[in-house]
């Protein structure tokens, strides 16, 4: 006789686990503690087997019957329903561990040794804000260029063009890490560089020749790290060097470096 919800609720625990048949290999098992779960009993290659479908009342009677019907279809196709269930569970677990967000966080952890805390925080925040909402739960091996581009377009639309470029670069780095660790085979982000909006290049105005003496005077007075000051001197002097004659074209009265530097070729 088929089970009813009333019969299930009224099933009382006994000293040992026992099972109540619903029909077509579906059973309700009642444990001594009062717990109830659904079982599907079958034979595969002549050997008996059973498979837990779920607990009652989390899984209703109707849902248990649907699961049992699916198991019977697998048997009819020559598959072991218990092994098929395990394979599906393993695949779901692997898909979760290989989701873009999980791989991205793993990649981020690997970079901490070479990043400053401030930079590490900014990188993670940019991924959390602009990449994870759309891509986070997707299997990294299944990501497509159009999905990544749609994510980057959202960043561009709010006017954050530079941020869009950085987010794309970080997405690409995460996928490259996935390839290196055997979780992806190709990187769809590498072909998107030209598809994002380019920043308008604004060149800085050149320092007028007549302001060089004042620049060096102020540079000398700045409390800079010594190598930084030296590098600035070398850079400016190299720009002012005549490559053919190996000397600066500026006359001493217009360009007079302060001691200990000597006038002449930068290197």
Domain coverage including residue 248: 207-267
Query: Within a domain: residue 87?
Result: no
Q: How many CB atoms lie within 10 A of CB 246?
A: 11
Please name every residue paired with 38 in a beta bridge, in sequence order, or none if there are none: 28, 54
Query: Within a domain: residue 149?
Result: yes
Q: Mark whether 124 and 49 lie in a shared domain.
A: no
Q: Mark whether 112 and 179 lie in a shared domain.
A: yes
SS3 146: helix
Mean pLDDT, the chain, integer: 85
pLDDT, average across residues 122-147:
95
Burial class of residue 199 in the structure, from the number of CB atoms within 10 Å of its CB (0-12 exposed, 13-18 middle, 19+ buried): exposed
Residue 248 has pLDDT above 90, yes or no: no
Domains: count for the chain:
3
Euclidean distance between CA atoms 89 and 158, whole angstroms: 40
Q: Mark whether 122 and 182 lie in a shared domain.
A: yes
Euclidean distance between CA atoms 227 and 84, whole angstroms: 67
Name the domain boundary from 82, 117, 143: 82
H helix or E strand, kind and range, residue 94: helix 81-97
Query: Within a domain: residue 241?
Result: yes
Query: Within a domain: residue 43?
Result: yes
Q: Mark whether 67 and 140 lie in a shared domain.
A: no
Query: Within a domain: residue 238?
Result: yes
pLDDT tens, 62-105?
999 999 999 999 999 999 998 888 887 767 676 667 899 999 99
Q: Mark whether 29 and 61 lie in a shared domain.
A: yes
């Amino acid at each position: 006789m088929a089970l009813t919800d009333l019969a299930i609720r009224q099933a009382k625990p006994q000293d040992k686990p026992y099972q109540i048949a619903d029909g077509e290999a579906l059973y309700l098992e009642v444990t001594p503690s009062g717990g109830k779960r659904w079982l599907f009993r079958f034979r595969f290659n002549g050997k008996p087997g059973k498979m837990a479908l779920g607990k009652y009342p989390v899984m209703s009677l109707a849902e248990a019957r649907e699961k049992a019907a699916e198991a019977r279809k697998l048997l009819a196709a020559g598959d072991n329903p218990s092994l098929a269930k395990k394979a599906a569970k393993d695949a779901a677990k692997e898909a979760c561990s290989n989701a873009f967000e999980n791989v991205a966080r793993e990649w981020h952890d690997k970079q901490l040794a070479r990043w400053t805390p401030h930079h590490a925080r900014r990188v993670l925040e940019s991924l959390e804000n602009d990449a994870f909402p759309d891509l986070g739960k997707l299997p990294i091996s299944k990501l497509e260029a159009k999905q990544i581009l749609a994510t980057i377009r959202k960043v561009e639309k709010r006017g954050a063009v530079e941020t869009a470029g950085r987010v794309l670069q970080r997405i690409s780095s995460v996928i490259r890490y996935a390839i290196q660790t055997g979780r992806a085979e190709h990187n769809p982000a590498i072909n998107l560089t030209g598809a994002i909006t380019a920043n308008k290049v604004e060149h800085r105005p050149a320092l007028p020749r007549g302001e060089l003496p004042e620049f060096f005077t102020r540079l000398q007075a700045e409390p800079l790290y010594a190598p930084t000051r030296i590098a600035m001197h070398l850079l400016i002097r190299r720009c002012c060097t005549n490559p053919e004659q190996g000397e600066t074209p500026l006359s001493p009265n217009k360009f007079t470096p302060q001691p200990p530097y000597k006038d002449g070729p930068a290197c």
